[in-house]
Amino acid sequence: MKYAIAIHGGAGSSPDMFSPEGNLARRKSMEQALTIGNDILKKGGAALDAVEQVVVYLENDPQFNAGVGAVFNAVGSHELDASIMDGSNLGCGAVAGVSHVKNPISLARLVMTGTSHVMLSGTGAEDFAREMKVEMVEPEHFDTPKSKEAWERTKIRLSQLKPGEPAPKAIEEIGASQIGTVGCVALDSHGNVAAATSTGGMSNKKYGRIGDSPVIGAGTYADNKTVAVSCTGNGEEFIRHVVAAEVAAQIRYKGCTAAEAVAEMLNNRLQPDDGGIIAVCPNGEITMQFSTKGMARATADSSGRFEVLWDENYKPAGESSNR
């Protein structure tokens, strides 16, 4: 039985941005999320179930920018995006701009299985959620003091820009918490791969803005013939370069490994600090790479590997990064 799984908790964050207690809490959350997915796969469960349940767990953790803890948009509310894809049949579902759905990733899966569509957005997605008896919450459910403080800092920083001056992209410049998008890719013992991604987007984003996370082929992709991919970072750039689908295309048409394909996108197609990518292939290859200062990530497989790669106290040999 062969299986493999990889998780990310968002590119852009690094251990020096957190207290020792914060680093420990983030490590423990990643470890618990990995345990959830690993246990499903170890028991012969489906990759699709593993990626959904991992992301549900992370959506419910206020340390990340997905679900509880999601960033505030420009009008002081939350708009959540998520997508999921089944590599066995290219089935996929996504939701964008939802504000009352407790776990957007589960609604995305229902879009895939319960409709003939791929993406639903805004009030239409929420009407569908109510039809499907999905748990709904008030937007305040997603508030945290940390995300609100980051929103206030972002507004101040942007207000200080001179006319025509571009907004700073680097996280440390803008002081935003648009870090923490979550994602998971998995290979199950039946040979199927799946991917899932969920986010609150960018702090102080324009009302109605949609990034790459719910866009199949940009932030999420899975195909049993090639690879499962989940992305995190500057959503506009990941959309422009259809990053997730490009990783699959390089594997399919150029014969690249997943590591080579991901490195090509991060090093040669995207700009420095644009983000990170995790991927798993049907042969069990796993890669987790980033061009930012850091990316919370974790991986496990049927060989017994079980690693959480995060703070300065745990840097195993061969840790994948392109810095």
pLDDT at 179 over 70: no
In a domain, 315, yes or no: no
In a domain, 319, yes or no: no
Which pair of structure tokens corresponds to residue 33? 């999320």
In a domain, 323, yes or no: no
pLDDT-derived band at 204 (thresholds 50, 70, 90) equals: confident
Count how many domains the chain has: 1
pLDDT at 320 over 50: no
Average pLDDT value over all residues in the chain: 91
The CATH number given to whatever domain includes residue 236 is: 3.60.20.30
Strand order in the sheet with 91-98: 119-121, 91-98, 80-86, 193-199, 182-187, 4-11, 295-301, 306-309
Residue range 179-183: mean pLDDT, rounded = 88
Residue range 143-172: mean pLDDT, rounded = 79
pLDDT at 16 over 90: no
In a domain, 143, yes or no: yes
The catalytic residue positions are: 181
Question: Of 2-11, 143-152, 206-215, which range is least confident?
Answer: 143-152
Q: How far apart are alpha carbons 282 and 190 in whole angstroms?
A: 10
pLDDT at 212: 97
pLDDT at 202: 87
Residue range 232-237: mean pLDDT, rounded = 94
In a domain, 29, yes or no: yes
In a domain, 317, yes or no: no
DSSP secondary structure of 88-150: TTTEEEEEEEESSBS-HHHHHHHHHHHSS-SEEEHHHHHHHHHHTT--B--GGGG--HHHHHH
> How wide is the angle at C-alpha 244 spanned by C-alphas 107 and 85, nearest 5°?
30
**What percent of the chain stands above pLDDT 70?**
92
In a domain, 264, yes or no: yes
Q: How far apart are alpha carbons 230 and 198 in whole angstroms?
A: 10
State which residues form the domain around 211.
Answer: 4-309
Q: How far apart are alpha carbons 257 and 255 in whole angstroms?
A: 7
List, for residues 55-109, the tens digit of each pLDDT value: 999 999 999 999 999 999 989 999 999 999 999 999 999 999 999 999 999 999 9
The amino acid present at 103, given as its one-letter code, is N
pLDDT at 313 over 80: no
Q: How far apart are alpha carbons 116 and 114 in whole angstroms?
A: 7
Taking the C-alpha atoms of 180, 280, 292 and 268 in order, what is their torsion angle to the nearest 10 degrees? -140
In a domain, 202, yes or no: yes
Question: Of 189-193, 243-247, 313-317, which range is least confident?
Answer: 313-317
